[in-house]
Amino acid sequence: MDQVSFTRMSDGTRADYHFLDRLEQDHAAGVADRILAALAGLEHSLEGYQVTRLEHSLQTATRAEADGADSEMVVAALVHDLGDDLAPHNHSQFAAAILRPYVRQEVTWVLEMHGLFQMQFYADRLGLPTDRHLAFADHPYFESCQRFCRDWDQESFDPHYPTKPLSHFAPVLREIFARPPFDPAILKEQNS
pLDDT averaged over every residue in the chain: 93
Question: What's the whole-number mean pLDDT along residues 45-70?
Answer: 95
Predicted confidence band at 188 (pLDDT cuts at 50, 70, 90)? Answer: low
| pLDDT tens digits for range 107-121 | 999 999 999 999 999
Q: What percent of the chain has a predicted confidence (pLDDT) above 90?
A: 87
Q: What percent of the chain has a predicted confidence (pLDDT) above 70?
A: 97
Q: What is the CATH number of domain 11-191?
A: 1.10.3210.10
Backbone φ, ψ for residue 11 (5° rounding): -95, 0
pLDDT at 183: 82
pLDDT at 121: 96
What pTM did the predictor assign?
0.91
Is residue 130 within 8 A of residue 36, CB to CB? The reply is no
Is residue 114 within 8 A of residue 142, CB to CB? The reply is no
127: left (phi over 0), alpha (psi -120 to 50) or beta: left
| Residue whose C-alpha is closest to residue 141's, from 153, 149, 129 | 149
Q: Is the pLDDT of residue 187 over 90?
A: no
Report the distance separating Cα 18 and Cα 124, nearest Å: 54
In order of 45, 60, 93, 109, the CA distances from 88 in angstroms are 11, 18, 10, 18
Question: What's the whole-number mean pLDDT along residues 12-26?
Answer: 93
Could you tell me how far CA 122 lies from the centroid of its own chain? 22
| pLDDT tens digits for range 49-61 | 999 999 999 999 9
Question: What's the whole-number mean pLDDT along residues 132-158?
Answer: 97
Report the distance separating Cα 111 and Cα 82, nearest Å: 11
Instruction: Print burial letters for 13-42: b (CB count within 10 Å at least 16), e (below 16).
Output: eeebeebeeeeeeeeeeebbeebbebbeeb
